[in-house]
Amino acid sequence: MPRNQTLFLLGATITAALLAGIGISTARSLPHSTVAFAGGSMCIQEKQSHAGGCLFSQTPKGEKQVFPLKHTDVNARITGNLARVEVTQTFENPYNEPLEAIYTFPLPDQAAVDEMEIKIGERVIRGNIKRREEAQKIYEDAKRAGRTAGLLEQQRDNIFTQSLANIRPGEKVQVKIRYTESVKFEKGDYEFVFPMVVGPRYIPGQAIGTSMDTDRVPDASKLNPPVIQPGTRSGQDIAVNVEIDAGVSLQTVQSTSHKLRIQNLAGKVRVQLGGEDTIPNKDLVLRYRVANKNTQATVLTEKNHFATYLIPALTYSKNEIVPKDVVFLMDTSGSQSGDPIVKSQELMRRFINGLNPQDTFTIIDFSDTTHQLSATPLTNTPENRAKALAYIDKVDANGGTELLNGIHKALSFPASESGRLRSIVLLTDGYIGDDKAVIAEVQSHLKSGNRFYAFGVGSSVNRFLIERLGELGRGTSQVIRQDEPSKPVADKFFQQIANPVLTNIQVT
């Protein structure tokens, strides 16, 4: 869905045979209460994540009423390197008054949303794509008129807010969203990710009203919707069904995040969640491998169109190792407390010990303020490595995530005397509200030839920000959960930082 466009759903868009019924049943005006759903499959309360989707109403006095999400269905079909996904959320209004439902949920940042519909009883409301301002006006007019309406807005590349107006008492509501995305491919492995969490964002800047909006993040209230009190859990579950038709045989199918049930069906593979994950609390990561020692080619056809893609078997010769100047940038804010900061420290130890003798380095950590290991790049000596490891051991996670300040510090850090090109390596969960400003800073001020590598640390990170920084920084991005081993991640990083990149590819 284009960023300046919004999907809206309006009761009047369905068949004329139902219009009379809608006009009668929606004649009442909406009371001053709002329902908010936080996080597609989770509720987030400050630093804690609570499993189970939650929809709740909030009165003008601030009183909260639980409004549980009944069920989430995810059906994905992967053909070649494209995924077509349908997400269905089912919930109902258990109260005796009409409500407006507002919920925020994650989708992959590369997802192209093109269909949305709401089913209320036997009524089906289908969405139309309009420019944001026009869609918002249509929705507000329908809400004031007491008609059933829906509005889907893209707040960030990976965060959507959906509003449903005039849900009647006892009504069951089913919301379907369909999108298409390309499946990530790297070194023989495909990776399909379905995000299940919108984590709490750190919002910098001065507040400009009674909401959470600030001068630096004017849409903060839409990124961090209100949540229910801690200890409240929904009985909702989730069903995930993924069908893979890669065009070639699969060697392995696995998940680093969830237990799976796998079926082979006539050249296709069906993957479902195991019964243990009925209440998810982390993003679903599905990986499968098709490449072997030979280059593989696949052709996909659909009506009058076709697509072909190659899976090259690449080998690199061992050239002379190029000395590196590395600035490590560690997120030590409060959102990294507990297992994430322990995993970041573990990964940093491997990074420091894996540097080559000719390399130079330093460490910068940030939260509310920034600190650094040294004023200039350090040579890779045993003494300096010991100094760095002691520095890593002492970092603690607390304070706000002022990532922009950390980026400023890393980009302006003095250059190595040898003039070698620099690599900036960021470790963070990326849960900030001013991610656009961070992206703009890297895009504008990263020097030509330098590289930016981004590592998302945690069970559910801001993949949009992590991947975008790696892309703009001409580096790579990678996500590591706190229960994953760090050695393969570090090994992969050093392989990527040393190997050449294919450019100027021609097909004849």
Residue 137 belongs to a domain with what CATH number? 2.60.40
Strand 284-289, strand 189-194: pairing:
antiparallel
What pLDDT is recorded for position 321?
61
What pLDDT is recorded for position 247?
74
CB burial of 158-185 (b: ≥16 within 10 Å; e: otherwise) equals: bbbbbbbbbbbeebebbbbbbbebebbe
Digit-coded pLDDT (tens) for 96-143: 877 777 767 778 877 888 888 888 878 888 877 788 888 888 888 988
Residue that wins the pLDDT comparison between 106 and 27:
106
Q: Which structural domain, as residue segments, surrounds residue 24?
A: 5-202+215-284
71 located within any domain: yes
Other residues' Cβ atoms within 10 Å of the Cβ of residue 334: 19
291 located within any domain: no
Asked if residue 223 has pLDDT above 70, the reply is: no
236: left (phi over 0), alpha (psi -120 to 50) or beta: beta
What pLDDT is recorded for position 319?
55
207 located within any domain: no
189 and 274 share a domain? Answer: yes
Residue that wins the pLDDT comparison between 299 and 44:
299
264 and 405 share a domain? Answer: no
Give the chain's mean pLDDT. 74
Mean pLDDT comparison of 28-42, 156-170, 191-205, 279-293, highest-scoring range: 156-170
Residue 230 and residue 228: Cα distance in Å, rounded? Answer: 6
Digit-coded pLDDT (tens) for 138-191: 888 988 888 877 888 877 776 777 777 787 888 888 888 899 998 888 767 888
Long-range CB pairs of 125-128 (<8 Å, 24+ gap) are 125/9, 125/10, 125/11, 125/13, 125/14, 125/149, 125/150, 126/9, 126/13, 126/14, 127/7, 127/8, 127/9, 127/152, 128/7, 128/8, 128/9, 128/10, 128/13
Q: How many domains does the chain have?
A: 2
| Cα–Cα–Cα angle for 325, 327, 333, rounded to 5 degrees | 170
275 and 421 share a domain? Answer: no
CB 124 within 8 A of CB 116: no
Of the pLDDT bands very low, low, confident and very high (cuts 50, 70, 90), residue 68 is: low
Digit-coded pLDDT (tens) for 288-326: 887 555 555 566 666 677 766 665 555 555 555 678 899
What pLDDT is recorded for position 35?
34
What pLDDT is recorded for position 456?
92
What pLDDT is recorded for position 263?
84
